Every structure is written in C-alpha cells, then in structure tokens.
C-alpha cells in the first residue's frame, strides 16, 4: 500500500521546506513539490514532518523483569514519543552476555516490537570470544555497579575489548562511574536515608575517574568509544579535551533529558523518582551539559529509559532502584525547548536522529531522504499539551514531568511506513 504525506513542511538537509512525501513498502520513494495520489493520503497542512528519533539507550526489561516493561509496552511508549528505533541494554535477567542469549532476546523483540531495534551485549571478564562471534553495533561496559550488576573494570580485559572493537568496528558504550569511589561514599552516608544524598554518593569525581581511565585506553588503541549518560562538568571537560587529541574523532557522548532538564533541587519534590545512575547533580552541571548539547560537543540525547514499578520507587532510598522512564517524553521536551528558543531545531535533529544513525551505523535512518526508511514524526509545533502520568504507555506510569505543559505535540508517528496515532 502506498502512503502519501501531502501539504506538509519537512525537515530536510538541515532546513524546513514545503514538500510532499510518497512512501511504498516502508521506504520513502519520492519527495516532491507536487502532491501525490496514493492508497492512503494524509493532509499534513500545519504539521512539521521530522525523521523518527533513534534512542540508543533503553531498558525494555526483557527477559526477567516484564512487570516493569516489555517490548509491547516499551515500543508503544517509543511511538507515542516519536521514537522509531531503539537500542536495548543488556542488564536483563539473565544478562545478555552470550550470542545465544542475544539471539533469544532478538526473537522475543521481533514478535512484539512496533519499532525497529538492535541489542547490546554486555562485556564481562570471560565473554570476549562471544562478543567476537556476534554481529554487534555496540557493546556495553558497566564500569560502575548498576542495575544488573555486570561490573567490568579490569584494565587488561578492557584493553582486549577495545582492540576487538577496533578490529570489528563496533562501538564500546561505557557507563563511566568508578566503583571504589561509589562504595567509599556509600559508607560515609550509610546512616542517611534521603534521596538527596544520591549525588553525594555517585559524584562528579566518580564519573571523572572512570572517564579518565577509558579515554586513556582509547587514546592508544583508537577504537570507537561512547560515554553514556554523561552527568558532570568535569566528565564533560575530559571528553571535550579527548576529542582534540590522537584518535579523538572516535570519542562521542550522550546526555539524558533528566540530566538536561533537572538538577539536584528536584530531589526534594521527586525523591526516588529521579534517582538514577549516574546521579542528577547541581545546577552548574545541568547548565554545562545543556550548553554542550547546544554546541554539539555532546553529540546525542538519549533517554536511558529505565522503568520500575511505583511500589519499587516508593521504597526507602537504599532499597529503591535507580532509573527514570523517558522514551516517550524525550522528543516532546526537546521540541518544547525549540519552541522556547533554548535549542535550535537543527541541533535537536542532529542529537536524536542524524548523529545516532551515523555513530551506530544505522543505514537509511535518521534523515528524510529518497530510499530511506519511512520512519517519520508528524508534529504540530503550535499545539500545547499536558504530560500526564495516566496517559503514558510505559508500564511505569510516571514521569518527572507529570503536569508539565509542553508546546509542540506529536500528532502521529510513522514507523516503517505504518501510521500510529
């Protein structure tokens, strides 16, 4: 079936132009000033057509924690937020550390996901041969303990992994926090039971120490290295400096909406609902991160969509798990930032569409071009909508931005030529 998007304005080649788009078998086959006739025609008058977002960092919790999220609910949440491609993390139960586990997980996702996807494998001290024999875009390194506890911070093994990454071409994605630093801080605050201590445990120093180690290794080896969910001014400075030296062109990083739009003052109101790893820190860190998203030094915005049940989040600080859901609120928050003049649309499109496609080698995605996948988002940039917990598709049913008015509403998402919304 052919689908025509007529009378709209589309984000193409870094600018907005009035155009019409024809889709056939999930691909964009024509882009023209002339209107198209098709089996289904959508009048896009007053709408902006954007490429579908690529979220390179989600936790859809399969297998082992389907009560928190699964591929059905997670991919519906993604569509609701204008995300048409996701990359799912390996700290499941069991963890994705073997080729067999990877393929079993892939088969589950294929049956129930509404969006395109790929999967990470986690690096461990004894699975490098499994990684070598799998076809991977990215391998996840948990340098600091987090949900799933797949700790990997042996320097010799890390060196082996980086050499393998250079040989095979995959991206090493690092959760960069120093475990010893975190454990020392946990002892200091063991008698406190308040979510506001989280940034005092998972500190700027913990992040910077881990980033220094992996950057030093990458400098010598020259593999593709991506720092996940960067959260601190010092960590950011280290990455920016690394980009200028030997092999620096292969160093990239991402930031999450919670680190971009929230600071540590939010713990008072939201408590464990913004407890995440790495921690949300003081305003000076948020400001620095926001400035470098705007400049492009932080290439990607991704969600680290990490849902938990309400009951789990309502426990006391030490028992409550870390993680914030965000796959359906990322693009709306960024579009609101465009409307309020805080970010240019060009930079947002680079951060959630173009650079994720380029860095993680997603062919035919991230751009509106002839021959590319028909992954598109129809947006009314003038419409104001209210984020509500009860209207979310994620099983978590909460967002730190519950009750927030945003300007720029997603009217429909098209994934692989299929229209949702």
In tens, the pLDDT along 19-43 reads 999 999 999 999 999 999 999 999 9
Collapsed DSSP state (helix, strand, coil) of residue 9: strand
Instruction: Evaluate the CA torsion angle 323, 328, 330, 336 in order and state its sign.
Output: negative
The tokens describing 307, both together, are: 């849902």
**Spatial distance between the Cα atoms of 370 and 357, rounded to a whole number of angstroms:** 16
What is the CATH superfamily name and number for domain 53-359?
Metal-dependent hydrolases (3.20.20.140)
pLDDT at 99: 97
Helix (H) or strand (E) holding 73: helix 71-80
The tokens describing 350, both together, are: 């680079």
Query: What tens digit of pLDDT does each residue of 329-370 get?
Result: 999 999 999 999 999 999 999 999 999 999 999 999 999 999
**Spatial distance between the Cα atoms of 235 and 237, rounded to a whole number of angstroms:** 5
Between helices 155-168 and 204-221, what is the axis angle to 10°? 50
**Spatial distance between the Cα atoms of 277 and 263, rounded to a whole number of angstroms:** 14
Collapsed DSSP state (helix, strand, coil) of residue 387: coil
- Which percentage of the chain shows pLDDT scores above 90? 95
pLDDT at 147: 52
pLDDT at 143: 85
Helix (H) or strand (E) holding 20: strand 15-24
pLDDT at 105: 97
pLDDT at 354: 98
Cα-only R_g, the chain: 21
Query: Which one of 70, 116, 304, 373 is the catalytic residue?
Result: 304
CATH number assigned to the domain covering 2-48+371-420 = 2.30.40.10
Told to judge if 304 belongs to the known catalytic residues of this protein, a careful annotator would answer yes
Helix (H) or strand (E) holding 415: strand 405-415
Close Cβ partners of 287 (under 8 Å, ≥ 6 residues apart): none
Which of 121, 137, 138 lies closest to 129, judged by CA? 121
Listed as ranges, residues in the chain with pLDDT below 70 are 144-149
Query: What tens digit of pLDDT does each residue of 295-331 get?
Result: 999 999 999 999 999 999 999 999 999 999 999 999 9
The tokens describing 50, both together, are: 């954007």
pLDDT at 145: 57
As a dihedral over the C-alpha atoms of residue 202, residue 203, residue 206, residue 210, rounded to 10 degrees, the angle is: 90
Cis check for the bond before 94: say yes or no (omega within 30 of 0).
Answer: yes
Cis check for the bond before 12: say yes or no (omega within 30 of 0).
Answer: no
CB 416 within 8 A of CB 114: no
Per DSSP (E only), the strands in 25-156 are 27-32, 40-43, 48-51, 53-58, 83-88, 116-119, 121-122, 138-142
Collapsed DSSP state (helix, strand, coil) of residue 301: strand
Spell out the SS3 assignment of 215-274.
HHHHHHHCCCEEECCCCCHHHHHHHHHHHCCCCHHHEEEEECHHHHHCCHHHHHHHHHHH
pLDDT at 151: 74
**Spatial distance between the Cα atoms of 149 and 12, rounded to a whole number of angstroms:** 42
Q: Pairing relation of β-strands 376-386 and 15-24?
A: unpaired
CA 59 vs. chain centroid, Å, equals 10
CB 415 within 8 A of CB 28: no
Per DSSP (E only), the strands in 66-192 are 83-88, 116-119, 121-122, 138-142, 171-175
Which of 6, 15, 1, 2 lies closest to 368, judged by CA? 15
Q: Pairing relation of β-strands 2-12 and 53-58?
A: unpaired
CB 10 within 8 A of CB 353: no
Collapsed DSSP state (helix, strand, coil) of residue 12: strand
Domain boundaries in the chain? 2-48+371-420, 53-359
Q: Pairing relation of β-strands 376-386 and 48-51?
A: antiparallel
Collapsed DSSP state (helix, strand, coil) of residue 157: helix
């Amino acid at each position: 079936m052919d689908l025509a998007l007529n009378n709209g304005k589309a984000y193409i080649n870094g600018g907005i132009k009035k155009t019409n788009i024809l889709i056939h078998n999930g691909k964009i086959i024509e882009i023209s000033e002339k209107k198209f006739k098709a089996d289904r025609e959508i009048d896009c008058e007053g709408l902006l057509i954007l490429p579908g977002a690529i979220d390179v960092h989600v936790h859809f919790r399969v297998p082992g924690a389907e009560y928190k999220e699964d591929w059905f609910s997670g991919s519906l949440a993604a569509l609701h937020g204008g995300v048409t491609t996701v990359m799912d993390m390996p700290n499941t139960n069991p963890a994705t550390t073997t080729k067999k586990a990877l393929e079993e997980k892939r088969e589950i996702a294929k049956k129930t996901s509404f969006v395109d996807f790929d999967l990470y494998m986690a690096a461990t001290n004894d699975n490098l041969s499994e990684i070598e024999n799998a076809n991977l875009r990215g391998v996840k390194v948990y340098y600091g303990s987090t949900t799933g506890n797949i700790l990997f911070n042996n320097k010799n093994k890390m060196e082996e992994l980086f050499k393998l990454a250079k040989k095979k071409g995959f991206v090493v994605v690092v959760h960069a926090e120093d475990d010893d630093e975190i454990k020392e801080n946990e002892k200091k605050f063991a008698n406190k039971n308040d979510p506001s201590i989280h940034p005092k445990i998972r500190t700027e120093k913990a992040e910077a120490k881990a980033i220094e180690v992996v950057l030093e290794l990458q400098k010598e080896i020259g593999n593709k290295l991506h720092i996940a969910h960067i959260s601190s001014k010092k960590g950011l400075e280290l990455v920016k400096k690394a980009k200028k030296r030997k092999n620096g062109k292969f160093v990239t990083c991402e930031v999450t909406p919670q680190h971009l739009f929230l600071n540590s003052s939010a713990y008072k109101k939201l408590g464990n609902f913004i407890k995440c790893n790495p921690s949300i820190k003081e305003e000076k860190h948020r400001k620095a991160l926001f400035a470098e998203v705007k400049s492009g030094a932080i290439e990607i915005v991704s969600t680290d969509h990490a849902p938990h049940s309400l009951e789990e989040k309502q426990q006391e600080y030490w028992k409550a798990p870390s993680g914030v859901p965000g796959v359906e609120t990322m693009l709306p928050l960024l579009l609101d930032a465009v409307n309020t003049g805080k970010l240019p649309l060009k930079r947002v499109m680079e951060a959630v569409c173009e650079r994720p496609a380029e860095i993680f080698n997603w062919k035919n995605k991230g751009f509106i071009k002839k021959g590319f996948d028909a992954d598109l988002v129809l947006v009314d940039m003038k419409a104001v909508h209210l984020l509500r917990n009860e209207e979310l598709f994620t099983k978590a049913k909460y967002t730190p931005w519950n009750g927030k008015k945003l300007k720029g509403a997603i009217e429909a998402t098209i994934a692989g030529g299929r229209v949702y919304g």
